[in-house]
Amino acid sequence: MLQERFWTMLKQALENQGKAVTIYGGKSVKVISQNYYQNSKGNKNIGLKYPVGQYASMNICMYINLYSWVHYGLRVCDEQGNAINRQDIKSDVASSLSEGNAVANKKDDWIVCYYNDEQRA
């Protein structure tokens, strides 16, 4: 399956760069690739994530997500690795980044979120 190959290759490339990558939306690349097509529309958030730093003693993680589009961005994670809403951190950090262009950018649990838009080059 093409999607499984995409996630496998991306995960391997990130790990080769020393990233501590974890899968979310399922237990393995194979499972998330299958779940995307089997889950209902509201349950299609799958992808990879890895920590990029800390802010105000909270972990900031890079998420690479598939929900209709492949998009990527930063989220605050709790001690269990779950994305959480921290408006104070979002306000502080997002102001130093270019504005996100993905729909998820407007959600409270994303600091910033992008998708590839060749029209905005």
Residue type at 110 in one-letter notation: W
Q: How far is CA 41 from CA 13, 14, 65, 79, in A?
A: 29, 28, 14, 28
- CA 25 to chain centroid, in Å, comes to 11
pTM: 0.87
Tokens 């909270």 map to which residue?
A: 58
If you write DSSP's letter for every residue of 20-42 in order, what string do you get? --EEESSSSHHHHHHHHHHS-GG
pLDDT in tens, the chain (121 residues): 788 999 999 999 999 999 999 998 889 999 988 877 776 565 667 899 999 999 888 999 999 988 778 899 999 999 888 899 999 999 998 889 999 998 889 888 999 999 886 665 5
The per-residue pLDDT for 35 is: 78
